[in-house]
A and B are shown apart, each in its own frame.
Chain A
Amino acid sequence: MKKILRRNEFYIALTILLLGIIIQTTSGQFFTANNFVDLARSLIVPGMLCVGVMMILVSGNIDVSFPAISMLSMYAVVKGFEITGYQGPVFAAFILSGLIGLFLGAINGILAAWLKLPTLIITLGTGSVYLGFMQGVLKSSVISVLPKPIANLSKAYLFTVHNAELGVSSSLSVMFVLLPLAALSVALIMRYTMLGRGIYAIGGDIISAQRAGFRVPWIQIFVFSFMGALAGVVGMTRVTLTGMCQPTTLIGIEMTCIASVVLGGVRITGGHGTVTGALLGALLLTMISNSLILLGIPSYWTKFATGVLIVVGIGITAYQALRADRRVMANILQSDAKPIPNGERDHA
């Protein structure tokens, strides 16, 4: 019990529940089947991205180029299908998009392992290149009529629920199965493979990991390639969900994803984090952006409200980490019991 109470995921889950109750009492529309289906539907894309981002953050890196990877690979595949008039099975689209993503992610990983510079700057650069490649070289524009196989898939639903009170019905797309699939595979890699332990190790302390025999560059390349492949698949998923190919559809999602993953207790300095936490964080932010209108907050204030929530949420986790670090320091320095003056803390 004590162990559960100390876990970050517990508090996130509590916040989600609390928010749900608040929305329920103000609008009466939260605990309804069709709201849950809508929520699940809008969770697919951020949820899948968040598990990947969690892996990147745990390894002590950061990736802000994945929206560009998503958009480039999805656009390239849809455009290619349109030109060739492809009529075969639809999963080829996902595999192709994933492969393009894998390639672009591998470029990120190789640069990161080779240059040993802050990965934020590297991926800002590569992200800009990928976006420029899509908009400049491929001359991207909106494709509103999708190729037949993809268009068919976007009309495939798992089930549909009706809300008699509002007279609306919501359908859950088959794409939803990809979310548990992605989450499960990441969870298995992180928990049960040597590779996964290596990802935690290099995020915790890169030099110790090296001394312990982990091949740091290969792990870095793997992490970025995995994120790239995932982003490629997510791009296709987005196309299927929206029923059209809007090349700039994911711009800016990196910020939301990183924020939700950090809200879920993944440390941006690396070494800490779980898939559950990442998913809960994604759920929380999706709930907020879906429900602010239900709460009666005007849409102009949405960005501000999410900004406040992100800062507060991240602040709480960061402050907890700071205090934990200081407790460790205090234990080490027990002999000289002088407390560290308030204004002169160590800045992480």
Chain B
Amino acid sequence: MPSAQVKAPSRLQGLLGREPDITRLTIMLIVVYAAMALLRPGIFLTKDYTISILYLFPEYGVLSLAMMLALISGGIDLSIVAVADLAGIASCKLLVAAMPEDASLPVATLVLLVAVLFAVLIGAICGALSSTLIAIIGIPPMLATLGSADLILGLAVAITKGSSVKNLPPILSDVVNTNLLGVIPVTTVVFAFCAILVSYLLTQSSYGFKLVMLGSNKVASRYAGLHNTKIIFQTYILSGILSSLSGVLMCARFNSARSDFGTSYTLQALLVCVLAGVNPKGGYGKVKGVVLAILILQILSSGFNMFPTISNFYRNLIWGLVLLLIMVYNHFSERHQAKKMAIKIK
């Protein structure tokens, strides 16, 4: 950042200047947490409440990571929830069918592992479908993923005949609903694993660099010799895999599988990404920002639950307003920065 080099800044200033969006998000997180803690200290600051926050956010947290990848590539993935539902249904069906009556623990674990891998496979196939539509047939990503979402969700409805897959073997919810060391839910571990993986891919691998190039300017990236089609395939397949993991988490929480789980998560995932400073036009996004944004939203959401007078329906209103306000705020801060740059050039 040029601002850090103008005059020798203190270390703190340098830190703030280098990642202004992360700093802003951290401050927001602290403010939101403090506000909730002050409003309802008796409920909010208990151990159970903290665990419930940690337990709940990974579902749409993993979906947000999936959405972020697509947004960085300059596209969007509106099929994440459909993929999650289909993968959840498929793996639950497999789990119910393949689990022997009185399975011993190792056998049950093995079957569970196979079921999760099956979900991942379904997710990858769905991702491949979307990327075929985008990269080979040339449908704009938004329309392609809307279309594939319809198709995938239609398949999910057809398989379940609109009802839910029930009587799951207890192993799934047993494994997912335990807390490691009594405080860290397994779902959080899954999310942490996904976040670290995506972060590694974005910052350390050549794939991440190519993805950012593609998102910044697809014509330039092609003339620079990048294989755009391959990058798009990698991105949407990865997004599909992440979505399928989220689907398994949802099934574990509800201890069943349905085709209409998590219908509001598309908007929430998008909201998380915009709040996290991921550029909706492509080319920029950080996992750190997404993690902070998810925590902010989950604390807000859990916070609303403490006030029974606020109807659930207000949530739509609040999410939408937050999304719009952030976009307005980003608009102003971008203009401010552009002005600063212009002055410096003079």
Contacts and interface: CB of A to CB of B under 8 A. Distances in A.
A207 interface: no
A322 B138 contact: yes
Interface residues of B, number: 53
B320 interface: yes
B52 to A, nearest CB: 24
B133 interface: yes
Interface in A294-325: 300-308, 310-311, 314-315, 318-319, 321-322
Given A125-B327, A268-B143, A345 B229 contact: yes
Interface in B278-322: 280-281, 311, 313-321
A132 B146 contact: no
B320 A128 contact: yes
A118 interface: yes
Interface stretch (A41-49, A142-150, A255-263): A255-263
Interface string B147-171: 1101111110110011000000000
A344 B135 CA distance: 9
A185 interface: no
A346 B218 contact: yes
Contact of B142 (A120, A306, A321, A344): A120
Nearest to A65: B320
B150 A126 contact: no
Interface in B231-247: 232
Interface string A276-305: 000000000000000000000000111111
Contact of B137 (A262, A303, A322): A322
A315 B135 CA distance: 11
Contact of B316 (A116, A131, A302, A346): A131
B139 interface: yes
A129 interface: yes
A317 to B, nearest CB: 9
Nearest to B162: A300
Nearest to B310: A136
A305 B155 CA distance: 9
Most buried by B among A126, A308, A344: A344
A128 B147 contact: no
A70 to B, nearest CB: 16
A62 B142 contact: yes
A128 B313 contact: no
A343 B230 contact: yes
A195 to B, nearest CB: 26
A175 to B, nearest CB: 28
B134 interface: yes
B150 A315 contact: no
Nearest to A262: B143
A127 B323 CA distance: 11
A128 B229 contact: no
Interface in B116-151: 133-135, 137-140, 142-144, 146-148, 150-151
A269 interface: yes
Interface of A: 62, 111, 114-118, 120-122, 124-133, 135-137, 139, 255, 258-259, 262, 268-269, 300-308, 310-311, 314-315, 318-319, 321-322, 343-348
Interface of B: 76, 133-135, 137-140, 142-144, 146-148, 150-155, 157-158, 161-162, 218-219, 222, 227-230, 232, 267, 270-271, 274, 280-281, 311, 313-321, 323-324, 327-328, 331
Q: Which 9 A-B pairs have the closest CB atoms?
A: A132-B317, A304-B154, A128-B320, A132-B316, A307-B151, A303-B154, A135-B313, A129-B320, A322-B138
Given A122-B324, A300-B162, A305-B154, 4 more contacts: A118-B280, A136-B316, A262-B143, A315-B139
